[in-house]
Structure 1
Amino acid sequence: MTMKNTVVLISLGGTIASLPDSSGRAVAGALSGKELMDTLKIESDGQVEVITLFQKPSNALTTSDLLQLRTLCLEQAERPEVAGLVVSQGTDTLEDTAYFLDTTLALTDTALVVTGAQRVPYAPGSDAGPNLRDAIKVAGSTEARGAGTVVVFNEEIHSAASVRKVSSYQLNGFASPGVGPLGFVDGDEVRLNHRLQRSSTIVPGEQLPRVDILPVAIDASPALLEASVASGTQGLVLDAIGRGHIPPSWIEPLGNAISRGIPVVVASSTHWGRIAEVYEYPGSLAEQVSLGALKANHLNARKARLRLMCALSGNTPIEQSIFA
C-alpha cells in the first residue's frame, strides 16, 4: 500500500512570493514556488513537491487560470502518494480561488489548502513563512482530508464557503464572520473542531461565462443593471442590502432581464446572515423571488457569482437547488 506522505505546493504568485523593485514597492509573484520555499527556508516532516503554475498578483488571475488550476489539482490528487495540496497566492482574491476549488472538486481523500500572506516575505514580522508552514502541515494531516477546500491563515483553519478577507493589511486578514474557524494550527498540532455542510459539487465546462455583480446602495440607479444586460452578461448577482433588498426602481429592469432568460441571484452585502423573504414591499426579496430570482442564501456575492458561472458553464440546471 502506498503511503500518503507527499504534499504538493502549487504556487500562483501574490504577496507571499514578492520581491522589491527599484522603487521599493513590492512586485507580487516575482518568486517562483521553489524560490519561495528556499527564501522562507520551509522545512517539513514529509516530502514537499513544488509546481509554479503562475507568477501573478492575484488581481491578474482569470477564470481560465482557475480552470487550469482545477485540472492540475485533479491530476495531483489522483497520485496515491499525495496526501494534500497547497495553493499559495495573493490575498485579494484568495477567497475566490478557495471557493471555486471547493465548488468544483469533491476530493474525499486529499486535503486542499489555500494560503497567502499579508506582508511580503522580506518584511519584518512577515506572515509568509508561518502561513506556508502551517498550510503544508494541514495539507499533510489526516484531519483535513475530506473537509473540502480550507484556508489556512494566521494559525486558523477556515472553510472556503465562509471565509472572508476582513483586513487589507493586518496579519489576521481572514475570518469567517458568524461562523468562526473550523480549527487551529498550534505548533505541531492540527485540530479541526468541526466541519461545515458543503454544497453539492458542480463540474464546470471548458469556459466560464460572464456574470456581473451589481452593488446596491440608497437610490442606486437601475442604469447599471440595464447596461449589464444590454452589453451581454449571461448572469447577474445582486449584492443587495440587508435580507436581500434592492431599490424599487430596479424591479422593472430586473423582471425584463429574467424574462430574457438571464438568471439572477440575490446575495446580501452584510458580513453575516442568510437572506430571507420576511418583508413585503416594492424591492423586497419576496418580490424579486416572485419574478424568478434565486437566493444565494449564505453566500456572499463573489462566491455566488462563481457558483453561478460554474453552473452556467456545465450541464447543471439553473435553479434554487444549486444554492442549497
Structure 2
Amino acid sequence: MTTPSQALPVPAHVHTPVWVLGEALMDCISQPDGLLQPLLGGSPYNLACAAALQGADVGFINPFSTDVFGQSLLEHLVANKARPLLPRSALPTSLAVVQLNHGQPSYGFYREGIADRDYQVADVVALLEASPPGVLHTGSLMAMPPEHHKVLHVVAAAKRLGWIISVDVNLRPRVATDVPAYVRAVRELAALADWLKASDEDLELLGFKDVSFANASTLAAHWMQQGCSRVALTFGGQGAYLQVGSDRDQAAAPVINVVDTVGAGDTFWGSCLADWVLHDTMRDLTRAQERLVNTLERALVAAAINCTREGCQPPDSIELAAQLPASLHF
C-alpha cells in the first residue's frame, strides 16, 4: 500500500494533464489451439496509451505490480510516452481471459487482491492537489462496487480542485456479482462526469430504449441534461456520435478488415481527449465546437486503425495523420 510520502513528484511543467484512474491488466486471449496469449490491456490503461501516443501529457494513477506482467505494463506505458504516478505494488497483476467470437470479445476477470486496486484515496488526492488541473479520466471496472466508493471520493475531490471529469461507462456485467448494484454505481459515477463516452451496449445495459445510431442525439440528450458538456456515443462498425455543447456530428466508421475490436472504444475516446487538450479546447467550448467534425473523424480513424491489429494497438500521431485527409492534419 502507498502512503502520501511515497507519492511520486509531478513535473512542474504539466499544464493540461490527462490523468487516468483505472485498471491495468493482462488480456489473456484464447487461441484456436486452446492456449492463452497474454496481451497488455485494461480499458483505462488502453486509453492512457492511446492519448499519450497522440501527444497528450498522460499520467496513470493506479499502481503497477512488481511481477513480470506489471513490469511489461509499466514499460509499455512509458514507451508510449505516458508516466506512472504512484509507486509499484507487491500484489499481482489482474488478469482478464478474453474469448473472441467473430472478432467480438467477451471477458472473464480476476480482480481480487491485485495491484491496480492497491491505492489510497488520500495519496491520489495529494497528487491532484500538487498538479495544475487537467482531465481526470475513469470508468470501466473502477465503477464496480465496492471500488466505486474510493473512485467517487477521488472524483469529488478532483471536481473541487477544478479538474474536468471524463467517464467511459464501459460496463462489464459478467464481472459483477450484483449487476443492479453495478449499474447504480455506474449511474452515480456518470452523474459526476463533465465528458462522457458510452457504447450502444452500455446504453442497453443501462436500460435505454431505442438504442440505435439514428437515435443517437436523443440518447445523448439524457447525459447533456444531466450536466455533461461533451458526450460521445459509439455504435461499433456503424460509427459514432459526438456532441460538444449544442453542436453535434455523427459519422460512419471507416470500412476496414477487422482483426478484432479490443480497445477500439478506448482508442476512440483517448483520441478525443488528446485532441481537446492539445488544441486548447479543454475549457473553451466554442473552440471545441469548431473542431467537432475533425475531432470525431480523427477518433474514428484511430479506432479503425486499432481494429486492424490484434489486441489494443492504437496509432501514434504520425500514423494517424497519414491516414487522414489533408484538411484534418492540424
Q: Same fold (TM over 0.5)?
A: no
Higher relative contact order structure (alpha carbons within 8 Å, sequence separation ≥ 6): 2
- Max radius of gyration: which structure? 1
Structure with bigger helix share is 2
